[in-house]
Copies of this chain bind each other. A is one copy, B any other.
Amino acid sequence: MAKTLEFFFDYMSPTSFLGWAVIPGVIERTGAELKIRPMFLGGVMKATGNQPPGMVAAKGKYMQQDMARCCARHGIKIYSNPHFPLMNTRILTGATLRLDDDPEQQKKLVEAGFKYVWGLPEGGINTGDEGEFKKAFGAEGFDADRLWALGTDPETKAMLRANTEEAVARGTFGAPTFFVGDQMFFGHDRLDYAEEALLS
């Protein structure tokens, strides 16, 4: 029976964008099932006492070089988002969670979501702005009104909080975090270890 790779992430995390670029090869080579698990990165940080790497200036500066190198290796390019860190990705994250019953649509939304947050040469959009949200995801062929409604549904917030609490309870302290059963892997650069776990 194929194993499952769980992907806990938040669109506001540039390293999650990088993780997303590495996942397809892992899935292709292992035949694993991908389970998309949106969470609130801010909630994870708060619950664990962790802080974004950029809080240490030297680390933040290095991270930019490191991201550029890793993205180049994995065939993507990341661009700044002028709204970071205030681009309010919660609604997009919530809408992604609510597409849980349609994995293909969900995957398509993650792809489009990362594109509009980190993948635009002209700079990412503010996905928390209703007009920008609907314009972007409408252009990608989604029913943008429905997506916005799903993302802003109060029930969605509770569901996202549950995902976040589960992630923290299982050991998560940042993003992206992957699970193969109870084995946890942090960062795109541990997906090769996750791949071994999926094949073992």
Contact = CB atoms under 8 A, between A and B. Distances in A.
A193 B69 contact: yes
A49 interface: yes
A65 B184 contact: yes
A130 interface: no
Interface string A96-120: 0000000000000000000000000
A11 to B, nearest CB: 22
Interface stretch (A15-23, A25-33, A51-59): A51-59
Interface residues of A, number: 25
A146 interface: no
A50 interface: yes
B189 A58 contact: no
Contacts of A186: 62, 66
Interface string A181-193: 0011010011001
Interface of A: 48-50, 55-59, 61-62, 65-66, 69, 73, 168, 171-174, 183-184, 186, 189-190, 193
